[in-house]
Amino acid sequence: MFAHIFVYRLKTLLRDRSNLFWTAIYPIILAFFYALAFTNINTADSFEAFPVGVVDNAEYRSQAYFIEALESVSQEGDNKLFDVTLMTLEEATDSLNNNKIVGYILFDGGARVVVKSSGLKQTILKGFMDSYLQQSSAVMSILHDNPAAAGSLVLPDRGDYIRPAELAGGKTDVTVIMYYGLIAMAVMFGGFWGRREVEDIQADLSAQAARINLSPVHKLKAFVCSLCAALLIQIVSLLVLFLFLALVLGVDFGPNFGYVALTCVVGGVMGVTFGALLAALIKGSEGLRLAVMLTVSLLSSALAGMMFPTIKYIVVEAVPALSYINPANLVSDALFALYYYGPGPRFTLNLTLMLAFSAVFSLAVYIVMRRQKYASL
Amino acid sequence: MVVKVNNLVKRYGDLIALDHFNLEVAEGEVFGLLGPNGSGKTTAINCILSLLKYDKGTVEVFGKPMRPDSYESKRHIGIVMQNVAVFNELTVYENISYFCGLYVPDKQKCRELVEEALVFVGLENYRKFYPKKLSGGLLRRLNIACGIAHKPKLIILDEPTVAVDPQSRNSILEGILQLNSQGATVIYTSHYMEEVEQICSRIAIMDKGKVIASGTTGQLKAMINTGEIITAELIKADASILADLKSLPYISSAELTGNQLVVKSGRGKNSLAAVLEYLNARQIAYGNIYCQLPTLNDVFLEITGKQLRD
Amino acid sequence: MPVFKAYFTVIRKNVSTLIVYFVVFAVMATVFIKIMGGGGPEEFTSVRNDIVIRSADNTPLVEGLIDFLGQHANIVSLAEGDSLEDALFFGRVDDVLIIPEGFTESLMSGGGEVRLERSSSSLTGSAVNTDLLIGRYLDLARLYILNVPGISQEALVTRVARDLDNAVKVEIAADAAQFKAGDVSDTFRYMAYTIIAILIVGVTSIMLAFNKPEVSLRNRCAPVSPAKMNMQLFAGNLLFTLAVWALLGVLAYILSGQTGIGPNLLLLYLNTLVFSIAALSIAFLAGKFIKGFGAQSAVANVLSLGLSFISGIFVPQALLGETVLKIASFTPTYWYIKAVETITDLSVFSFENLKPVYTDMLIQLGFAAAFFILALAASKQKRQSADG
């Protein structure tokens, strides 16, 4: 009997194009879009020199040291900060207004910088000017103490003080969180299968269920056999998604593929049982159940960092309890823990919670479904 | 008794859906449950099948109390519901095979039964079709096949011919008689009196959750006062004749609707001759004239004052 | 105009789905504005990084450095037990600075072998800011170390601090744009996603209703010429598009906290209007191929998200790869975003400056025309094959 129900259920679900699309195909399409958008994001960090104007007046020309300093940051090379153009004041104002330059430097009874808005480039321009002024002041104070040193003044090159380091073994690719969030979303979408399972066994939700209820097969047995088919499909979808991300798109999951697969399996169970519970609890039209399922799935995935990684962290900071109640977050956090720390206490905690949730959901569904007679059909 | 229902009461809040509903179906009968929409036929069926909670009363099937876990009884029941209950993702063959398999664990036996069912409903050429591609009539046939493939001893059909083409309808009715001749007891609910009259050996007429009359067709028609209905299409309508007609012996009513004259006469008397005599005497011209025995609709009409189908 | 009226009845039936998209837009815009927060040009404010500092070298020099950093960045202290890695990874802090033991000594002796360790979040990309700040302080320090032999740390710190008091005066140009460029740019970018999604859902709902075979045949038998019917449908589509554009425009205005309508905003609205027409043409074309409501939501989602991702709505164009941008340039969304980013920076509205904006808009209209023609060709094809 198990084989009979299982095989036919498998056939039925695999031909359910709508659910198959949303749970198996849509996440892959989305992942593909993510990959397209992220191709450059980690290398886009490198700094590019930007255009700056300098007003060519008499006062400027008298600043020999400044001219030298400016040259050192406007020549091709690692130190290049600016693309400098000399111009008149009118030209400078014009260029700034027409966004041809980020800002211009004006010597008019002292040094001045004119910009249009506050931003990183403007800050860097200001920083350069500040640095120059401060260095000049330092030089002047040194010479003031020791005028004789004028000849032998050593002007150090820009020092190399910083070694870019990486914490925890070189993981700086933030985009992985968005992919993990995507897997979390696919896990939650598994609820669609759970919903279908309940709708096809609760006689007050569909005619097919009524027919099944009138057969000599024990209702719970029928349900569990069908559910196994749904679980199989969902788990396979998740594993395929995972492999697609890891092998085709090259998303970094760390070296622990086995544990990631385990997460997918447990996640599959959790998502499907969650959907089943929602469907069992929500009476009313099919449209309502669908809407609730969609909203809950997307909301929980978004909070798990699917759309913007920082949200995940903010949630943890603001409401730490929430991060352990949100099933989607358990998934993305488990994957993150594996990636960043390897299989350790954090991963185990998440996985255990996922198993606990699955158990709770399953139990709840069982309790709700034991009702065999209905108040109305 | 295959089915015995005693004093079934079902309420939806203030609305009483089944009001002390009683039913007895003997083995080998084709029992009809007739009533207008909303009379409680489907509710009664669902309660009998233990799908629906009821407030009072008892239901026995095959001599044993019927409960949701009466699996042994369920094994021998086949149902054809009002809503088509098949899976859109499975073909005709797969649907029948799936449901049959729930009743008959033996794979080989199941295969044979499915083939027989396909032939029985005439869907052999459609076995690879998906339900979406079937017309209403064919879909209903599939619905039936799924319900009877396992050769149940008791078959319950709830309005199986709604929105079905005449050809399919006839084959369905014939099929039911065939199943009955093979030993199945049938409960058939409908609001189409012609069908019920055609195939049912005993009938119960329902209204507002109660059985208001039951018996064979003959017994039911004998309950009312009308024995004959004479309909004539007059060339020219003349209302003055109604009073005269009514005064004829055994005539219970005479009505004129447009050009159509309907005269009802008492039980057992052949009043056609009398009416013809009267019309000829008054030189009233008429076109078609025919007389009929009362229908179940007339039974219903007389008892409740309403039509069976409105 | 019965067809026209029927149009809006169908829209009304689907209003709940449409409302969902409006809400999503509003939420997206609000959330992102809160988190990213655009800057205002009222007065110049330097970008301040959030830095966490862990020092194993507690010397006056290091203290001086930290002090200086504190003036130009936000020094964040994480609670004990909060993971440094998490904070950095998720972009809660921009940099983590680790000052190893022996740093000061190595610096004072002129060798400079011991270096600071900096880890930066790749999300925010402003590591260069921190580097420059640190460089500035330490360059000054080295200047003294090299030219005032034997200078004590305390003296060094004092003198450096004094030098650091010098700062350049920064002015905002008089003609600077008067609105919060950042918020507006973001809001109008997300709008494109919403516009596509809503138009596809709305237009295809209509087309599904009207293209049902029974309905279509019935329409062909009616005494209204097909041309007239198409015109009414077209008018309905246009009105719907305008309504969506206006509604989103108002929403955007409120959400980005605008006060008053300047030329930038007007240009943005014009750009959005042009884009809406292009989106309508996409929806129209998509509608020719959508057969059912399941397909409708799939297509609406996939198309709107897909175009958004590659055109620079969720990930700014500056951060997208070249190939992606090339692909995206075959969609109107790319040109819309490009125009938005140009417009928000404008403060002088000369023809010279507006030329690229107008070009972008014309390109979008070009796409609209192309899609419309394609759609008409597709429906002619279908009709011919159905009749023949």
Confidence of residue C38 (pLDDT cuts 50, 70, 90): very low
Instruction: Note the pLDDT of residue A46.
Output: 60
First to last CA, chain C: 31
Q: Per-residue pLDDT tens for A215-246?
A: 999 888 899 999 999 999 999 999 999 999 99
* Residues A37 and A55 occupy one common structural domain: no
pLDDT at C192 over 80: yes
pLDDT at C379 over 80: no
pLDDT at A47 over 80: no
Q: Per-residue pLDDT tens for B224-275?
A: 777 788 888 888 877 788 888 888 777 878 888 888 888 888 766 677 888 8
Q: Per-residue pLDDT tens for B142-166?
A: 999 999 999 999 999 998 888 788 8
| Domain edges within chain C | 2-39+176-387, 50-164
For residue A20, being part of any structural domain is answered with yes
Residue of A116, A121, A145, A333 to mutate for C, most C C-beta atoms under 10 A? A116
* Residues B45 and B183 occupy one common structural domain: yes
Confidence of residue C81 (pLDDT cuts 50, 70, 90): low
* Residues A186 and A293 occupy one common structural domain: yes
Total count of domains within chain A:
2
For residue A160, being part of any structural domain is answered with no
Identify whether the C-beta of residue B297 lies closer than 8 Å to the C-beta of residue B213.
no
Distance from CA of A225 to the nearest CA of B (A): 12
pLDDT at C34 over 70: no
Domain residues for the domain of A76 are: 50-152
pLDDT at C388 over 50: no
Cross-strand partners of C172: A115
Q: Which residue has the higher pLDDT, A166 or C295?
A: C295
Instruction: Note the pLDDT of residue B89.
Output: 93
* Residues B186 and B202 occupy one common structural domain: yes
CB atoms within 10 A of CB C149: 8
CA atoms within 13 A on the CB side of C383: 11
Residue of C116, C122, C301 to mutate for A, most A C-beta atoms under 10 A? C122
Which chains contact B through at least 3 pairs of Cβ atoms less than 8 Å apart?
A
CA gap C157, C139 in Å, rounded: 12
Instruction: Return the exposure string of C365-377: e unless at least 16 CB atoms fall within 10 Å of the residue's CB, then b.
Output: bebbeebbeebee
Instruction: Note the pLDDT of residue A261.
Output: 92
Instruction: Note the pLDDT of residue A236.
Output: 95
Output phi, psi for B154, to 5 deg: -125, 125
For residue A28, being part of any structural domain is answered with yes
**Is there contact between B and A if contact means ≥3 C-beta pairs under 8 Å?**
yes
CA gap C124, C1 in Å, rounded: 55
Closest CA to B206 of B292, B308, B85: B308
Q: Per-residue pLDDT tens for C344-359?
A: 777 777 787 788 889 9
A221 touching chain C per CB within 8 A: no
* Residues A181 and A314 occupy one common structural domain: yes
* Residues A309 and A226 occupy one common structural domain: yes
Confidence of residue C88 (pLDDT cuts 50, 70, 90): confident
Identify whether the C-beta of residue C163 lies closer than 8 Å to the C-beta of residue A134.
yes
Residue of chain C whose Cα is closest to the Cα of A158: C139
* Residues B97 and B192 occupy one common structural domain: yes
Sort A72 into a burial class: Cβ within 10 Å, 0-12 / 13-18 / 19+: middle
* Residues A33 and A63 occupy one common structural domain: no
CA gap C144, A153 in Å, rounded: 10
Residue of B46, B64, B102 to mutate for A, most A C-beta atoms under 10 A? B102
CB atoms within 10 A of CB B226: 19
For residue A103, being part of any structural domain is answered with yes
* Residues B128 and B160 occupy one common structural domain: yes
Residue of chain C whose Cα is closest to the Cα of A112: C169
Which residues are CB-contacts of A344 (< 8 A; sequence separation ≥ 6)?
A337
CA gap A189, A23 in Å, rounded: 6
CB atoms within 10 A of CB B139: 19
Which residues are CB-contacts of C256 (< 8 A; sequence separation ≥ 6)?
C29, C33, C180, C183, C184, C186, C187
Q: Which of B221, B246, B273 is the last residue of a domain?
A: B221
Mean pLDDT of chain C: 78
DSSP calls for B68-130 = TT-HHHHTTEEEE-SS----TTS-HHHHHHHHHHHH---HHHHHHHHHHHHHHHT-GGGTT--
pTM above threshold 0.80: no
* Residues A318 and A213 occupy one common structural domain: yes
* Residues A188 and A75 occupy one common structural domain: no
Specify the CATH number for the domain of residue B197: 3.40.50.300
Q: Per-residue pLDDT tens for A77-105?
A: 777 778 888 888 888 888 887 788 888 88
* Residues A24 and A132 occupy one common structural domain: no
pLDDT at C42 over 50: no
Identify whether the C-beta of residue B90 lies closer than 8 Å to the C-beta of residue A12.
yes
Instruction: Report chain B residues whose CB lies below 8 A from the CB of A212.
Output: 102
Q: Is the ipTM of this complex over 0.85?
A: no
pLDDT at A278 over 50: yes
* Residues A235 and A307 occupy one common structural domain: yes
Instruction: Note the pLDDT of residue A81.
Output: 79
* Residues A215 and A274 occupy one common structural domain: yes
Q: Is the dihedral of CA A231, A237, A238, A240 positive or negative?
A: positive
Q: Per-residue pLDDT tens for C110-164?
A: 776 778 888 777 666 667 778 888 888 888 888 888 777 777 888 888 888 888 8
pLDDT at C176 over 70: no
Place of tokens 């084989």: A3
Q: Per-residue pLDDT tens for C206-220?
A: 777 777 766 766 766
A49-63, A311-325, B215-229: least confident range:
A311-325
| C25, C29, C31, C37 alpha-carbon torsion, rounded to 10° | 170
Residue of chain A whose Cα is closest to the Cα of B89: A12
* Residues B255 and B148 occupy one common structural domain: no
pLDDT at C178 over 90: no
Instruction: Note the pLDDT of residue C44.
Output: 67
Identify whether the C-beta of residue B264 lies closer than 8 Å to the C-beta of residue B251.
yes
CA atoms within 13 A on the CB side of C323: 6
For residue B245, being part of any structural domain is answered with yes
Identify whether the C-beta of residue A31 lies closer than 8 Å to the C-beta of residue A249.
yes
For residue B186, being part of any structural domain is answered with yes
DSSP calls for C272-317 = HHHHHHHHHHHHHHHHTT--SHHHHHHHHHHHHHHHHHHHTSSS-G
Mean pLDDT of chain A: 83
DSSP state of C73: S
Sort C316 into a burial class: Cβ within 10 Å, 0-12 / 13-18 / 19+: middle
Instruction: Note the pLDDT of residue C108.
Output: 80
Total count of domains within chain B:
2
Instruction: Note the pLDDT of residue A264.
Output: 93
Average pLDDT of the segment spanning B5-33: 91
C50-164 fold: abc type-2 transporter like fold (3.40.1710)
A152-156, A159-163, B3-7, C232-236: least confident range:
A152-156
* Residues B69 and B150 occupy one common structural domain: yes
* Residues A102 and A188 occupy one common structural domain: no
Domain residues for the domain of B125 are: 3-221
* Residues A230 and A352 occupy one common structural domain: yes
